[in-house]
Amino acid sequence: MDYFMPTRLYSGADCISQHADAFRALGSRCAIVTGKHAAKASGALDDVARALEAAGVASCLWDGVTENPPVAACAEAGRFAATNNAQFIVGIGGGSALDAAKAVAVFAANPGLDEADFYAKDWANAPLPIALVGTTAGTGSEVTKVSVLTDSAHRKHSIHDDALYAAVAFGDSRHTHTCSLSTTLSCGVDVLAHATESYFSRKADDISRAFSVRAIRLAAGPLKLAGVGGLHTAKTLVDKLLSPSHREALYNASILGGLAINTTGTCFPHNVGYYLTETYGVPHGFASAVFLPAMLERVREEDPAYAAEFYEQIGLDEDAYTSLITDFCLPIELDNISMTPDEIEAALPRWENNGSVKNTRADVTTADIRKILTSLFVR
């Protein structure tokens, strides 16, 4: 077994203020990369601002991150950071902001870099150092070397490189308390997707499986509570159902899921889920989870002993775990998505020889994906 994750992770209440010196170690001036609302509403932006001031670090703010961030926007933010002489990048937010910050660090260090050279990793200079502050319990981007962006063809496209690990990451689960029910469930089921796909990856080992199992066991209870009433549940009721300890469990599960996929990567549900996000606007976590039951079924058919071990480890049988995903964590109306056979045929080439598809422990062909999409979305 081999494991590499060089990020220094601080977690717990007030971890940012308690470790403000970690920012100063990265430089005397930074660019903060975030979205318009969540970082401020959660209190994370203010916490970072106070810590930077205490550490004597000057900052500038680029708050243009959107969901599924485009590469072009990251290049724009990189130019902004370079113009403001940033020595490091601070990303604050959910997966979109954290993934964007990693890309901004590349563009800031490499003025004039285009998209093709970005993805080819033809970088003359190493990315600027990165600090990440998470505000959702979902992607685990704080502890991975992955950035998932939307390319100029409007497809979600990931890049992996050891240079994209954050130097330091902060995880104060109180910053997740302002997440809506929809965000909580979409991010939470993304945790289940990461952990489950990692467990059923061909690259899984004892370390990654341990992270996967613990992530699922931590997340299952809070997600079931959150999903009891569906998306129409008032947020005040959700706040009563999900205590601070539940929110902390979900955040810790998110980090564990990130540590799992840091070794293994994801499998076909994530990559096929990208298509639902790009074409139908389905939030990423929900889009991935749609295909988890099909993956679980395929693995059970090909390797029943391995599947049985998984369910024994997580403390749920296949029916109970599938029910958790579909009945509690997927409050989207799949009936609103309709595909024609021709549309499915046109999409299939993107999954030929795809790394995530081939990474799945069970053999999955484009014929299998055609069958799955047809059963779900052809009316």
Domains of the chain listed by start with CATH number = 8-175 (3.40.50.1970), 180-377 (1.20.1090.10)
Burial 75-93 (b: 16+ CB within 10 A, else e): bebbbbbbebebbbbbbbb
Per-residue pLDDT of 295-306, as tens digits, reads: 999 999 999 999
Kindly tell me if the per-residue pLDDT of 237 is higher than 70. no
- Give the model's pLDDT for residue 261: 97
* pLDDT at residue 239 greater than cutoff 90: no
The tens digit of pLDDT for each residue in 330-357 reads 876 677 899 999 999 999 999 999 999 9
Q: Is the predicted pLDDT of residue 234 greater than 70, yes or no?
A: no
Q: If DSSP states are collapsed to H, E and C, what string results for 230-292?
A: HHHCCHHHHHHHCCHHHHHHHHHHHHHHHHHHHHHCCCHHHHHHHHHHHHHCCCHHHHHHCCH
Integer Cα distance of 250 and 260 in angstroms: 15
How does residue 2 score in pLDDT terms, banded at 50, 70 and 90?
Answer: confident
Q: What is the mean pLDDT of residues 36-65?
A: 97
Q: How far is CA 359 from CA 196, 198, 203, 265, in A?
A: 13, 9, 7, 8
Position 181 pLDDT exceeds 90 = no
> Looking at the predicted structure, is the pLDDT value of residue 231 above 70?
no
Mean pLDDT of the chain: 94
Q: 329 pLDDT band (50/70/90 cuts)?
A: confident
Q: How many CB atoms lie within 10 A of CB 205?
A: 13
Which is more confidently placed, 233 or 100?
100
pTM score of the predicted model: 0.95
What digits encode the pLDDT tens for the residues 284-328?
Answer: 999 999 999 999 999 999 999 999 999 999 999 999 999 999 988
Name the token pair of 45: 């932006």
Residue labelled with tokens 């930074």: 30
pLDDT at position 318 is 95
- State percent of the chain over pLDDT 70: 96
The confidence band for 1, taking pLDDT boundaries of 50, 70 and 90, is: confident
Question: Environment class of residue 54 by beta-carbon count within 10 Å: exposed (0-12), middle (13-18) or buried (19+)?
Answer: middle
Whole-angstrom distance, CA of residue 311 vs CA of residue 293? 13
Predicted pLDDT of residue 227: 81
Q: Is the pLDDT of residue 21 over 80?
A: yes
